[in-house]
Structure 1
Amino acid sequence: MKKMILASAAAMLVASPALAANSATDQFQINAQIPETCTMQNVNDVNLGALNISTTAGNGALLLSSDATQNTNQFWVSCNKQNQMTLSGPATLQGSRAFQAGVDDAGFTDKLNYRVEALNYFTSGAQPSFSSAQGAQNQTSRGPVHRQVRLAAKVLSSENTLRPLAGNYTGTVTVTVQTAL
């Protein structure tokens, strides 16, 4: 009889369901991507106004007699990755009246050399710039940025040694901020 009770007890253990655990643990990952991007607010135009020329008769008459500088508005530059600012523009500011060889005396010009420089794209050091004499300068990239930047536009008398013809002078400068490769 003892054998029968042991056999019955063994059969009950085999036939009974497994005991359920009172908790379980598993893991999963959450993934997301942030695209690299740069944004920039519109930069306003710069008007240098009437440039000063020498009105005294003689050898230096009608030459630029002083420098002119004007800044843009503060505009937001925001990039979430390593980035670079580049300034580009025409070789010179073009006058509204073209120089006419054979009509106008030599020594006059319908072009003005100019410079544009970022004032605070970098925290310190050389800033991105463009000059009609040298083209784009400082192609250094920087880390992520979110700040208000100004640009300074300049016409320097030392870089304009010919007599400018009367009229309006214009040129379009392009500011590009892009993530660096």
Structure 2
Amino acid sequence: MKKLVFATMSAALFSTAAYAGDTDSQSFTISANILPECSVEAPQDVNFGNLAINEDPGESALEGTFGRRTQTQNIWVSCNYGADMAIAAESMTTDEANDGPDADDFTNVIPVRMGLEASDGTSFRKMFFDSLTKEGDSKTNTDAFHDRAKLSVVVNQEDLKGKRPLAGAYSSTATVNLGAI
């Protein structure tokens, strides 16, 4: 019987808390930040190899005959905010100086054109750059984007304007910029 009385008293003691007065609650804020970020997958170097020239004697000897050559590759471009984009390149040049007595017939510069296009056609607008005219696009995107974009690099014999390219190794540097430009 003592056990029953003790058990009843214990239950009453612990259950009185359930009948306590008013309760209280407080709200609080949970927050975090994500910093603005853009990333560009490093494009592979582009090598057009030996560009063809006319090897036959005559009025058009040594002029470029390579036509329009294009190399494309896909690169990831991503920004978690509406970021600026730009592409740019210098014309390819060689260390060979174009300073001979017949310099007007030759060039040590091969212009480059570039394009960057969204794979789905909608993540961002197509951009281009032409190193001959130094004209190109710089875009501001209103929204975040993540795309495996197509990057095209072009050399076009017409950009030589009838001049004969000097022999030599030609090179240039090109850039793809995302973010504050």
Normalised by the length of structure 2, the TM-score is: 0.77
* Cα distance in structure 1, aligned partners of 2:72 and 2:47: 9
- Aligned-partner SS, 2:86: strand
More divergent stretch after superposition (130-139 vs 111-120)? 130-139
Q: Which has the larger helix fraction?
A: 2
1:30 alignment partner in structure 2:
30
Percent sequence identity over matched residues?
A: 26
Supply the RMSD in Å over aligned alpha carbons: 2.3
Task: Look up the match of 2:132.
Answer: 133
Partners of 1:82 and 1:179 within 8 A in 2? no
**Partner residue, 1:64:** 64
* Correspondence 1:157-176 to 2 at 5 A: 157-161=157-161, 162-176=163-177
| Distance in 2 of aligned mates of 1:36 and 1:29 | 22
| Shift of residue 152, structure 1, vs aligned partner | 1.0
Deviation at 1:22, TM superposition (A): 5.2
Quick check: which has more Rg, 1 or 2?
1
TM-aligned CA deviation for residue 165 of structure 1: 0.8
Q: Distance in 2 between matches of 1:63 and 1:84?
A: 40
User: 2: distance between equivalents of 1:153 and 1:42?
Assistant: 15
Report the TM-score, using the length of structure 1 for normalisation: 0.77
Distance, in Å, in 2 between the alignment partners of 1:139 and 1:122 is 19
Which stretch of the first structure deviates more once superposed, 170-179 or 116-125? 116-125
Structure 1 segments, 4+ long, off by >4 Å, are none
Measured at CA, do residues 85 and 136 of structure 1 come closer, stay the same or move farther in structure 2, by a change above 3 Å?
farther
Q: How does 1:91-130 map to 2 (within 5 A)?
A: 92-102=91-101, 104-120=102-118, 123-124=121-122, 127-130=126-129
| Offset, 1:81 | 0.2
2:87–2:137 contact (8 Å) kept in structure 1:
no
- Shift of residue 175, structure 1, vs aligned partner: 1.3
1:85 aligns to 2:85 (yes or no): yes
CA contact (8 A) 1:116 1:131 kept: yes
Structure 2 gaps of 5+ residues are 1-18
Distance in 2 (CA, whole Å) between partners of 1:132 and 1:101 is 25
> Is the counterpart of residue 21 in structure 1 residue 24 in structure 2?
no
Q: Which amino acid aligns with 2:116?
A: A
Equivalent-residue separation in structure 1 for 2:150 and 2:121 (angstroms): 13
How many residues of Structure 1 are paired with residues of Structure 2 in the alignment? 159
Alpha carbons of structure 1 residues 122 and 83: separation in structure 2 relative to 1, 3 Å: farther
